[in-house]
Amino acid sequence: MTTLQDCQRLDAQDPLRPLRNLFDLPHGVIYLDGNSLGVCPKATPARVAQVVQQEWGQGLIRSWNTAGWFQWPQQVGNKIGRLIGARAGEAVATDSTSVNLFKVLSLAMTLQAQANPARKVIVSERSNFPTDLYIAEALCRERGWTLRLIDAAELPTTLGPEVGVVMLTHVNYRTGAMHDMAAVTADAHGAGALMVWDLAHSAGAVPVDLNGADADFAVGCGYKYLNGGPGAPAFAWMNARHATRLGKDLWQPLAGWWGHAAPFAFTPEYQPAPGITRFMCGTQPMISLAALDCGVDTVLAAEPLGGMAALRTKSLALTDLFIQLVEERCAGHGLSLVTPRAHGQRGSQVCLSRAEGAYAIVQALIARNVIGDYRAGDTQQPDILRFGFTPLYLGFEDVWNSVEHLRQVLESGEWQRPEFNQQHAVT
Ligand SMILES: *Cc1c(COP(=O)(O)O)cnc(C)c1O
């Protein structure tokens, strides 16, 4: 049996422990929702204030040059690139995940339409995050393609000669299940399809090697494990081989002036900028990019301590411990583990299901300052209690305490109180 003292000992021995000091965690809060909205880094308020007061307030329009604003999307993109196996110039921080997905997916469809016009099917998972499916469906309607939704296990058998693009989220937002990126990408390519990955629950959470897997396109989120703040710019990635091969002919559908090779030439003809820069559309949000930059820096701060590999080791230790303690200390309360036990198939979160009361249990935990979240089920999937583990700012004692609160909430029946059973707009 693991004890509270064991957990405290693990924290004392944890080489990543100092990284917690990079954040402004509210006192007494155990934050298990960094997979939805990361914690505010200590550096962010001053940096944002500096952008507003000095760079905008005093520098005014000169700051596009003097503060280097114009290059921030690529600079932050390159920093994110270090976390996802991108080469310099392959990733850009811009727009939202949904908008970036529209751009990369549309371009992947165009590439297939030129090379293999008979391939008119996008394959994705039924359990993918809804916005990904809506964007794919919208593009299919526009282009006369079909969106084929499958369960993960059906993937190998569904890749026929009609499939143009496989679009998957690497770590599932509901279950925390993780795909083998290299193997799935190889299967997609073997079947003649292009591979698009959504890294919303991967970037800053698990090691990712897009070039190692030889993927085609990827998008990901800035406000989850990258701690960029609410509505932070997302990112887009494209394998350099596409830009190298197609150059000027490679347009994304939102071909705005910021993606032009020479925006300030103001020419009437569009000519895409080299590399990933062409994935920008219009003027970029500098205040938000400054906050995202601070967030990405908190993840890069782990580089001297072993980087994503060290974060992954700790993340697995935290999620292993959470699973073990829930099974030891909350047994008999109807909770079942939804997230895969196998390390190779698990992201940085643990999801539990319960036939009744999942929403109310999460509310009762939040009232005790243990913040996780709830995702509703449907006819195929149960309601879920979702707990994200960000190794940058969570420790082993936090895991112990969160399970102890969960045990008390279940044992006392406290979750049955009416105030915990009223649903809010944002869950
Ligand atoms: C969080 C998330 C998104 C969010 O998209 P937005 O455009 O930022 O709202 C998209 N896809 C996945 C898989 C996500 O987990």
pTM of whole model > 0.85? yes
From the alpha carbon of 98, which atom of ligand 1 is closest? 7
| pLDDT less than 50: residues of the chain | none
Sort 348 into a burial class: Cβ within 10 Å, 0-12 / 13-18 / 19+: buried
Task: Outline where DSSP puts E strands in 334-424.
Answer: 336-337, 349-353, 370-371, 373-375, 384-388
Ligand 1 centroid to residue 323 C-alpha, Å? 26
pLDDT digit string, tens, across residues 308-352: 999 999 999 999 999 999 999 999 999 999 999 999 999 999 999
Residue 352 — φ and ψ, nearest 5°?
A: -120, 150
Backbone angles phi, psi at 407, to 5 degrees: -60, -45
- Give me the percent of the chain exceeding a pLDDT of 90: 95
> Using CA atoms, how far apart are residues 26 and 23, in angstroms rounded to an integer?
9
pLDDT tens digits for 7-32?
999 999 999 999 999 999 999 999 99
What's CA 371's distance to the chain center, in Å?
A: 19
pLDDT at 192: 98
In order of 22, 47, 86, 294, the CA distances from 290 in angstroms are 16, 7, 21, 6
pLDDT value of position 380: 80
Site to substitute for ligand 1 among 35, 100, 103, 131, most atoms within 8 A of C-beta: 131
Q: Is 79 in the pocket of ligand 1 (CB under 6 A)?
A: no
**C-alpha of residue 191 to centroid of ligand 1, in Å:** 27
Quote the pLDDT of residue 1: 87
Residue 95 Cβ inside 6 Å of ligand 1? The answer reads no
Nearest atom (ligand 1) to Cα of 129: 13
Please give the backbone phi and psi of residue 68, each rounded to the nearest 5 degrees, phi first: 75, 15
**Given the CA of residue 201, which atom of ligand 1 is nearest to it?**
15
Cβ 239 under 6 angstroms from ligand 1? no
**The pLDDT value given to residue 251:** 94
| pLDDT per residue as tens digits for the range 349-392 | 999 999 999 999 999 999 999 999 999 988 888 899 999 999 99
How far does residue 262's CA lie from ligand 1's centre (Å)? 31
Residue 407 confidence (pLDDT): 98
How far is the centre of ligand 1, averaged over its atoms, from the C-alpha of 246 (Å)? 29
- pLDDT score, position 247: 81
What backbone torsions phi and psi does residue 214 show, to the nearest 5 degrees? 60, 40
Q: Whose C-alpha lies nearest to ligand 1, atom 4? A: 97
Please name which of 404, 347, 6 lies closest in space to residue 179, comparing C-alpha atoms: 347
Q: Is 171 in the pocket of ligand 1 (CB under 6 A)?
A: no
36 C-alpha to ligand 1 centroid (Å): 9
Residue whose CA lies nearest to ligand 1 atom number 13? 129
CB of 129 closer than 6 angstroms to any ligand 1 atom: yes
Among all residues, which ones are annotated catalytic? Answer: 129, 198, 223-224, 386
Burial of residue 309 (CB within 10 Å: 0-12, 13-18, 19+) is exposed
